Amino acid sequence: MHPKYGDELAVVVVTYFPGETLEPFLDTLEKATARDVRVVLADNDTAPSDESLDRAAQRDNVHLLRIGENLGYGSAANRGVAELDERYGWIVIANPDLEWHPGSLDELLAVAERWPRGGAFGPLIQEPDGTVYPSARLLPSLGRGIGHAALGKIWSGNPWTRQYRQETAKPAERTSGWLSGSCQLIRREAWDSVDGFDSRYFMYFEDVDLGDRLARAGWLNVYAPSATVMHIGGQATKRASAKMLAAHHESAYRYLADRHRGLLWKPVLAAVKLGLAARLKLATLRER
């Protein structure tokens, strides 16, 4: 039986060479809520050399957890949450390359009050140019996933991508299949009910998998566009783009294979694996 948690709020930030993005994240977080916030920096750097982390750790509300190895996003987030005691019933999992709009975290909490079966809540995520990122999406079924994977890069308006990304829907408070892992408010009770992120996902699809498992456990994934954050862009993934491309394709296959088990699916999954390998090769060549 899970312990009964208090109502305090914590933010777990997974870091890997966050650089100059971390200070604006923490500065804007101070204006995002009127509540006291505990911040845990779960750092994946194997040879700590980023001075921004040391500066951040000097803040009274920040705890720096040096993991000592690169566990990937989900596993590091799990380690960060494990640092929190039972007072913390609300946790935010976030990337460090975000900037919070004033009052945005309080607004997320207000939305959560309206959805007692809500397990995860995702804000509206803006790009620096003001574009709204499609952060609340349908779960990738096999057909929808293949259509998006095959055509998303060459025909962005294809029906599978548009349906999957839910880009035709106006930003409105609603349930979703899954929410972007770059910023989620999660009810600790819901988090515990599914044991957090699946550690088999090093990078990518850990948020898709989490959303699916939360729904299977009876929780709702709620898109809350009345709360807004700005996503600057992946500083960490730029350092190892080829590795991240490979991780993305590996995670996509794992997600589909987990949900299509049995002998009848083996030929289909074999074809999916070949298709993803070809897509990865093309994507890697474009990166050169």
The structure tokens 């007692």 sit at 116
Please name which of 135, 116, 127, 115 lies closest in space to residue 178, comparing C-alpha atoms.
135
Predicted confidence at residue 172, as pLDDT, reads 93
Q: What is the pLDDT of residue 193?
A: 97
Report how far residue 192's alpha carbon sits from residue 122's, in angstroms, rounded to the nearest whole number: 18
What pLDDT score was predicted for residue 1? 45
The whole-number pLDDT of residue 123 equals: 98
DSSP conformation class of 45: -
- Helices in 88-205 by DSSP H: which ranges? 104-114, 142-151, 159-165, 188-193
Q: For 176, what's the count of Cα atoms within 13 Å in the CB-facing half-sphere?
A: 34
- Which has the closest alpha carbon to 204: 98, 73, 79, 75? 73
Extended beta strands in the chain, E state: 8-15, 37-43, 62-66, 88-94, 98-100, 118-126, 132-133, 136-137, 174-176, 178-179, 183-187, 220-231
Phi, psi of 159 (to 5 degrees): -65, -30
* Cβ neighbours, 10 Å, residue 19: 15
Burial environment of residue 119 by CB neighbours within 10 A (0 to 12, 13 to 18, 19 or more)? buried
**Residues in the chain with pLDDT < 50?**
1, 151, 236-237
pLDDT reported for residue 253: 85
pLDDT of residue 67: 95
* pLDDT tens per residue, range 82-128: 999 999 999 999 999 999 999 999 999 999 999 999 999 999 999 99
CA 271 from centre of chain: 28
- Cα–Cα nearest to 164, from 154, 151, 173: 151
pLDDT at 273: 78
What pLDDT does 143 receive?
A: 61
